[in-house]
């Protein structure tokens, strides 16, 4: 079983602020972390590798420093890592990003599954996983909370959707996006940490992937982020004081009078 896990280096969102004038994230001084949802995808991949044998390869597209999250993944137990990095990739939207990731999966050949987190905590689009599947023309199962079965030919996974759970069977190869319900990610191991320092991580650029210039980066991106702003928080809260009978009546009256149904 050959599993590729697509991961992303993201700013620790607990710390992020927005530059309102430029409409961009202020990344200076903000620690970068492995996208937490991707940790669940990685754990799911390693769990099945441990059971069925095979390899787990992590890939990410990003600047050279994104290598740090690949090394972190190796310290947790990934077998191999590939960094997709090229100046030409800069400014990519989700379409160009998934297209580039899909080309890398094609280049690796014989990949059975691509796993990724349900979304990244910075962009929150949840598009990259499905879009990789579209680009590869593979089936996809998104929002996977539990993988019931996996073998060389097929997968049965539970897809947690609002108000229910869909059980989906698919042939391989397949792309799945993973929820945090799926597992508890393991900690790094000492052997993993040592391996993560020594492992050579190949860097693939646009030419390695044989991608034309107009299919990568800003030029290959059909969408543009026009602006980013922090929404103004409108607070209509009221604070009342009094005994509980009075407060309960006030609350009931105001609920009856409002448009809340």
Partner 1 sequence: MNYYLSEELNDIKELCAEIALKYILPVRAELDEENRFPREIIKVMADSDLCGIYIPEEFGGSAEMFGGGSMALTVATEELSKACGGVAVSYAANALGAMPILISGSEEQKKKYLPDLASGKHLAAFALTESEAGSDAGRVKTKAVKDGDSYVLNGTKQWITNGGEAQIYTVIAQTDPSRGARGLSAFIVEEGTPGFSYGKKEDKMGIRASSTMELIFEDCRIPASNLIAREGHGFLVAMKTLNKSRPGVAAQAVGIAQGALDEAAKYASERVQFGQRIDSFQGIQFMLADMATQVEAARALVYGVSKMIDSDARKYEKESAMAKVFASDVAMKVTTDAVQILGGYGYMKEYPVEKMMRDAKITQIYEGTNQIQRSVIASALIKETAARGK
Name every residue whose Cβ is closer than 8 Å to that of residue 132 and which is 6 or more positions away in sequence: 6, 98, 101, 102, 105, 114, 116, 175
State the alpha helices, DSSP H only, in the chain.
36-52, 67-76, 94-108, 128-136, 190-198, 244-257
Instruction: Select the span of 37-45, 84-92, 192-200, 242-250 touching partner 1 (CB under 8 A).
Output: 192-200
Which position among 2, 180, 186, 195 is part of the footprint of partner 1 (CB under 8 A)? 186
Instruction: Select the span of 15-23, 126-134, 180-188, 230-238 touching partner 1 (CB under 8 A).
Output: 180-188
Per-residue tokens: 9: 């280096």
Per-residue tokens: 156: 């049965």
**How far apart are CB 76 and partner 1 at their closest, in Å?**
10
Q: If binding is defined by CB under 8 A, does position 50 make contact with partner 1?
A: no
Which position among 14, 187, 239, 260 is part of the footprint of partner 1 (CB under 8 A)? 187
| Near partner 1 in 194-213, by CB under 8 A | 194, 197
Q: If binding is defined by CB under 8 A, does position 14 make contact with partner 1?
A: no
**How far apart are CB 162 and partner 1 at their closest, in Å?**
30
Which of 180, 159, 178, 177 minimizes the C-alpha distance to 168? 159
CB nearer to partner 1: pick between 2 and 195: 195
**How far apart are CB 243 and partner 1 at their closest, in Å?**
32
E strands, 172-222, in order: 174-178, 203-204
Cα 123–chain centre separation: 9
Contact residues: partner 1, CB under 8 A = 186-194, 197
């Amino acid at each position: 079983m050959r599993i590729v896990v697509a991961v992303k280096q993201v700013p620790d969102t607990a710390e992020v602020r927005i530059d309102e004038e430029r409409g961009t994230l202020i990344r200076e001084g903000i620690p970068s972390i492995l996208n937490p949802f991707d940790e669940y995808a990685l754990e799911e991949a390693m769990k099945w590798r441990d059971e069925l044998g095979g390899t787990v390869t992590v890939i990410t597209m990003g600047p050279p420093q994104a290598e740090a999250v690949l090394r972190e993944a190796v310290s947790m137990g990934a077998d191999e890592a590939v960094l997709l990095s090229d100046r030409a990739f800069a400014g990519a939207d989700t379409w160009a990003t998934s297209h580039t990731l899909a080309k890398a999966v094609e280049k690796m050949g014989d990949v059975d599954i691509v796993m990724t987190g349900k979304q990244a905590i910075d962009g929150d689009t949840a598009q990259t996983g499905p879009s990789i599947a579209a680009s590869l023309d593979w089936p996809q199962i998104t929002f996977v909370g539990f993988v019931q079965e996996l073998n060389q030919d097929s997968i049965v996974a539970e897809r947690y959707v609002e108000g229910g759970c869909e059980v989906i069977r698919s042939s391989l190869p397949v792309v799945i996006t993973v929820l945090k319900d799926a597992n508890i990610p393991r900690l790094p191991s000492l052997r993993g940490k040592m391996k993560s320092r020594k492992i050579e991580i190949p860097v693939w650029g646009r030419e390695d992937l044989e991608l034309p210039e107009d299919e990568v980066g800003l030029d290959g991106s059909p969408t543009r982020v026009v602006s980013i702003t922090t929404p103004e928080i409108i607070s209509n809260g009221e604070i009342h004081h009094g005994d509980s009978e009075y407060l309960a009546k006030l609350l009931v009256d105001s609920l009856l009078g409002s448009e809340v149904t």
